[in-house]
Amino acid sequence: MNDSFGIAQRLPLHASLVVWGKSYVDLLLRVALPALAAPGNLPYLARETDLTFDIYTRSVDAEYIRTHPTFQATNRIVPIHLNPLIDTLPRRPYPSMTMNDCQRYALAKANREKAPILMLLADIIISNNLGECILKAFRNGKRAVVTQGMRIKQETVLRLLEERFGQNPLTLCLTPRELVGLAVANLHPFIENQFIESRHFVYSAELYWWVGKNNFLARNYCLSPVAVWPMNPDVLPEITFDDVYIERAIPSADAYHIITDSDEGVLFTLAPERYMIDPIPQSERLFSPQGYANQIARFFMSKNLGWIHSHYFRHNVRIHADELDRTAWKKQERVAQRVVSAILRSFHWQLGVMKFLSPLKEKLMAFAERVPIWASNIIPKTIPKIISKFIPKFIMRHPMNRSFLRFVRQKKLECHLAHDFTIQLSVR
C-alpha cells in the first residue's frame, strides 16, 4: 500500500454528501444526519481521524439547512462545509448527472490530499457502527468498503422513526439488528419481488433468499461503495461512482472489504413505495437462472462493467435481525451457490457471445441502412435466423465452452439468437 497511516499519524478522511430539493433535504435532516450523528459514526471518525465533511447543494437549500437544529447539532460534532456547487454547474437533463458531477468534484478534492472519502447520500439510514467498520477496514489496508444498499418503504419507516425518536431527532442510534428488524418489516415492493420465491420476480442486480422470518441472504453484482481510497488517484468516474470506475481506481480484489454480515454495519435506502426502477410484472413470472443470466449479460454490455461486479456476486451477504442459526444459514448458502453457479455458467457464455457478435451487429445495421426500403424490414428478421444456425455450433466447438455444452444438453435446453443479437436459452 502506497499510503499508510499508523497510530502516530492521523488519517485524513473526507466525507461528501450531495443534496438538493425539498424532499431530499427533509430526508437528510430527519434521517441521514441524525443516523450519521450516532456514536459509532461521525463522533467516532471525528475523534480518530482528521475528518472533513462537505455537503454539496444549492444556495437556497444551504440557507435552510444551515438554520436547522439537526444540522447545527451535527455541525458541533464535526464542522460541515455547505458548498453551493450545484449553482455553478451547467444544467443537466437528469438529476443523476448533477449528482455525478458533484461526486467527481469531491473525489478529485480528496485525491489531491491522498485521502479516503465517504460517499454519502441524503436518503440513507445507517446503523450506529458503520463508521467504525469503515475505519477498521482502512486501517487493515483495504481501499474500498462496499455494502448492500437495499430499499425500504420511506413512508412507513419515517412514521415509525417519529413514533420512537420524535419529530426532529438530533441522533438516530440504531444497532444493526434493530435497523434490520425495521427494514424486514418494511421492505420496498421492488425488493420483495427480488426474492427467489416471488411469483412476480423482478430481474435486477439483487437476489434474496429468506432464512427464517427476520433474516435473509443476498447476492448482488452492484454493491454500493460507501467509502473508497483510490490506488489510482488520477482516475475519475466517467458516468457513475459505482460503474467501471471502481475497478480502475482500485484494481486489486484483495483491496475491497465487502460487508458480508450486517452485524459489521448496515445501510438502507429510503424510497417512496411507488418508486420503481423497472415495473413489477402483473402476470406470474418465476425466477429463471438463464433469464437472470441474460439480464446480467445485457447490463454488463450496456454499462461496460468488468470483473469487480462478478467478484461482488460471488459473495454471500447475511442480513439478519436474529442470532445466526449456522445450520440454517449454511443450508441456504448451499442453495444460493447452486443457483449462482448456474447463472454464472450461462452468463459468461452469453456475455462472450454478445461481445463476439457486437461488431457483426454494427456492420449488419450499417449495411441495412444502405439497402432499399422494401428490404429494411426483412434483414433484421432474417439475418439472426440464418446466423443462429451456425454461430452456436461454431462457438460450442471452442474447448472453453464444451462444459457448458454438456450442461445445455443435460438440462435439455435450446439456444437461439434473438432479433437483438442476444443469445437466449429455452426449455425444449
Q: What is the pLDDT of residue 301?
A: 67
CB 210 within 8 A of CB 72: no
Span 213-226, average pLDDT: 93
Which residues are CB-neighbours of 81 under 8 A, at least 6 positions away? 52, 53, 54, 55
Select the more confidently predicted residue: 284 or 72: 72
Query: For cell 461521525, what's the residue?
Result: 42
pLDDT tens track for 131-152 = 999 999 999 999 999 999 899 9
Q: Is residue 212's pLDDT more than 80?
A: yes
Q: What is the pLDDT of residue 250?
A: 94
Average pLDDT along the chain: 84
Q: What is the pLDDT of residue 295?
A: 78
Q: Is residue 203's pLDDT more than 50?
A: yes
Q: What is the pLDDT of residue 422?
A: 46
Q: What is the pLDDT of residue 342?
A: 83
Q: What is the pLDDT of residue 8?
A: 46
DSSP summary character for residue 195? B
Predicted confidence band at 373 (pLDDT cuts at 50, 70, 90)? very low
Angle of the 326-368 helix axis to the 379-396 helix axis, nearest 10:
130
Predicted confidence band at 405 (pLDDT cuts at 50, 70, 90)? low
Percent of the chain whose predicted confidence (pLDDT) is above 70: 77
DSSP codes, 243-270: STHHHHHS--GGGEEE--BGGG--EEEE
pLDDT tens track for 334-352 = 999 998 888 887 776 666 6
DSSP codes, 320-377: ESS---HHHHHHHHHHHHHHHHHHHHHHHHHHHHHHHHHHHHHHHHHHHTTS-HHHHT
Domain spans, the chain: 11-324, 358-427
Q: Is residue 57's pLDDT more than 60?
A: yes
Predicted confidence band at 167 (pLDDT cuts at 50, 70, 90)? confident
86, 191, 300, 405 from 178: Cα distances, Å: 36, 19, 35, 47
pLDDT tens track for 241-282 = 777 889 899 999 999 999 999 999 999 999 998 877 666 677
Q: What is the pLDDT of residue 360?
A: 62
Give the integer Cα–Cα distance in Å for 117 and 134: 10
pLDDT tens track for 5-55 = 444 468 999 999 999 999 999 999 999 999 999 999 999 999 999 999 999
Closest by CA position to 266, among listed 128, 63, 401, 165: 128
Percent of the chain whose predicted confidence (pLDDT) is above 90: 57
Q: What is the pLDDT of residue 302?
A: 65
Predicted confidence band at 98 (pLDDT cuts at 50, 70, 90)? very high
pLDDT tens track for 305-339 = 778 888 998 999 999 999 989 999 999 999 999 98
Task: Give the end-to-end CA distance of the chain in Å, rounded to a whole number.
Answer: 53
Q: Is residue 215's pLDDT more than 80?
A: yes
